[in-house]
Amino acid sequence: MTGSIKLFSGRANLALAQEIADRLGIGLCGVDIIDFPNENIFVRLHQSVRGQDAYIIQPTYPQVNRSIMELLIMIDTLKRASAGQITVVVPYYAYGRTDKKDQPRVPITARLVADMITTAGADRVVTIDLHAGQIQGFFNIPADELTAFHLLCDYLKEKDLSNAVISTADLGFAKKARNYAEALDLPLTFVEKRRSGRKGSTTESLTVIGDVEDKDCIIVEDEIATGGTVVSAADILKQHGARSVYIAFTHPVLAGQATERLAEAGVTELITTNTIQIPPEKHIPNLTVLSVAGLLSEVIRRIHYGISVGELFGE
């Protein structure tokens, strides 16, 4: 791609976009994003992008629906301004959990969002730790799914792991949890949700599979939304004798009362990333936030110069 990188940011995570721009040694391109009194969003670019390689940084959280609409309008603006190539960088892809028709008469919203991004005019999507990798296939344009796995592992490797085990509270995450266990050379344990009783009067209980007695348990997850899953997992691990609990996760959705619940959960440390901007009131003392700006800036540089992205991960 000729010309320079034109980096734009929506309003969902301006701090991350600025950090990416700083690492690339460029400025963020000027753009006005205005909410009209009738809630319509209006976008205006400050400079020409004709024929240029444009990137938009916009996780689709918080304010999921507004963030998505804002992203779509930004893509449309760049397309109509004749940008040469438009890459959307969506560090957190909302609606990822609605990715299949697992009951009658329900939508597949993850696909709908992919269709809207494509129809708006994006040429390429870059994202991090999708809820399900198959969502990549919902796009008919190139979709690079990156991962915070290496970032989280490198941080955890700095700790004394001599007595640690990896735990997962979500059997759907078991394969990824195994990757953590292998990378850190630790045993893998599970918190399993069991349903018992007859239809209409079933009860749910948690059981632990594996030895966690006197262990430092590291729960790994893709996201924390309400905190319900990890807080009950931390609880049952401690009931089974865990001496400490850490939680490492990529996306800090931290919806509703999640922060309060996590603050009271007796967890030693929560380790996450800045795919989603965490407002100051949600920065609890035991929360460590690792930045994905290094990863994203390097990937943007590689896309711009046509260099392999897979090589970054030794692929």
Of the candidate residues 92, 173, 180, 246, the single one contacting ligand R5P (CB under 6 A): 173
Binding of residue 170 to ligand R5P (CB under 6 A): yes
Q: How far is CA 287 from CA 115, 231, 240, in A?
A: 35, 15, 24
Q: E strands along 3-96, which residues?
A: 5-9, 31-35, 41-45, 53-57, 85-90
Per annotation, catalytic residue among 100, 157, 159, 193 = 193
Rounded Cα distance, 59 and 222, in Å:
15
Contacting range for ligand R5P; rule: CB under 6 A; set: 30-38, 139-147, 148-156, 219-227: 219-227
Q: Is 193 an active-site residue?
A: yes
Binding of residue 129 to ligand R5P (CB under 6 A): no
Of the candidate residues 12, 49, 181, 224, the single one contacting ligand R5P (CB under 6 A): 224
Query: Helix 174-184 to helix 149-157 angle, to the nearest 10 degrees?
Result: 40
- 237 dihedral zone (left: phi>0; alpha: psi -120 to 50; beta): alpha
Binding of residue 226 to ligand R5P (CB under 6 A): yes
**Of 287 and 300, CB closest to ligand R5P:** 287
Residue 145 C-beta: closest distance to ligand R5P, Å: 15
Which residues have C-beta within 8 Å of that of residue 19, sequence separation ≥ 6?
274, 291, 293
Contacting range for ligand R5P; rule: CB under 6 A; set: 157-165, 194-202, 216-224, 267-275: 216-224
Residue 45 C-beta: closest distance to ligand R5P, Å: 35
Contacting range for ligand R5P; rule: CB under 6 A; set: 25-33, 139-147, 166-174, 281-289: 166-174
73-102 in b/e form (b: 16+ CB < 10 A) is bbbbbbbebebbbbbbbbbbbbbbebbeee
**Of 99 and 298, CB closest to ligand R5P:** 99
Provide the token pair at 155. 């941080």
Residues at the site binding ligand R5P, with contacts judged by CB under 6 A: 170, 172-173, 221-229
